[in-house]
Amino acid sequence: MDVHKIYKNYETIEKYLFNLDTFKIETLEQFEDQFNDYLAISMSLFTILNACIEIGEGLIEEKNLEFPSTYKKVFEILGNNKVIDKKLAKKLSNHMKERNMIAHQYDDINKEDIYNLFLQKEIFSDFISQTKKLWK
């Protein structure tokens, strides 16, 4: 496992979370109306989710846990094995839907789902605090 790559993913999450904090979006309507902000927020969330997946896959490999068949399973496995708490695991696994919408169906994205993920961005800080200490 390339621990340097894992730490680069933590840096990516922290950088993009800082970026997300600069947006002054307070309502869904505002989010939908400000197209450039919507695009930037969507891609920032996509990047953060991908970094979380890579960290999760690294932890699964490091701890010799079962191989995940989907991105959603990455977080379920981490939760089931008490690597992260189950509540956080459930939130992250549920948000793989938004990640996949951004990746594969950009024109059909449910903006409300993306906005709700934006409002819940603290889950990524929780993920960092629960996992970063696990690396030697």
pLDDT in tens, the chain (136 residues): 788 999 999 999 999 999 999 999 999 999 999 999 999 999 999 999 999 999 999 999 999 999 999 999 999 999 999 999 999 999 999 999 899 888 887 667 788 999 999 999 999 999 999 999 998 6
State the pTM of this model. Answer: 0.93
Q: What is the pLDDT of residue 92?
A: 97
Q: Interhelix angle for 35-62 vs 111-119, to 10°?
A: 60
Tokens 């932890």 belong to residue: 59
CA 13 to chain centre: 8
Rounded-to-integer distance, Cα 75 and Cα 81, Å: 10
75 neighbors 56 (Cβ within 8 angstroms)? yes
Backbone dihedral region of 23: left (phi > 0), alpha (psi from -120 to 50 degrees) or beta? beta
Q: Which of 109, 117, 92 is nearest to 20 (CA)?
A: 117
